[in-house]
Amino acid sequence: MEFSLAFPMEFILALRLAHLDFPKRYLKTSYNEADLVDEILSSLDGSGILLEINTSPLRKGLNECSPDKDLLERYVNYGGRRVCFGSDAHSAVEIGAGLE
């Protein structure tokens, strides 16, 4: 079996914060504890932890990724610039589902 890495090892091994607005999955609307979330977002810059943008809500009937635009803007306002993408795909056809 032949195996090759398409990404640098430091990218693959990067720590990431995912599902920051997890309650949205069940409430179907944005919800977060603003003070706590702001504390988390402000601590990410310089920590080496990437914020994951997850596309799974798009294939579950929602119209935006997780975290939503508001949380992403807050992340940027705190100096955050590093993100990665995830889809929680359980099959190849689910990867990128909902992205047009």
The reply to whether 30 falls in a domain is yes
For residue 26, give the nearest of 66, 73, 74 by alpha carbon.
66
Sheet holding 83-86, edge to edge: 15-17, 49-54, 83-86
**What pLDDT, in 10s, does the model give residues 8-67?**
555 556 788 988 888 777 776 766 688 889 999 999 988 889 999 998 888 888 888 889
Record the tokens describing residue 81, joined without a space.
């610039």
Residue 45 lies in a domain: yes
Say what the pLDDT of residue 9 is. Answer: 53
pLDDT of residue 67: 92
Residues 2-13: pLDDT tens digits? 544 455 555 556
Q: Which domain holds residue 80?
A: 15-89
Let me know if residue 77 belongs to a domain.
Answer: yes
100 part of a folded domain: no
For residue 34, being part of any structural domain is answered with yes
Residue 74, domain member (yes or no): yes
Whether 49 is in a domain gets the answer yes
Question: Number of structural domains, the chain?
Answer: 1
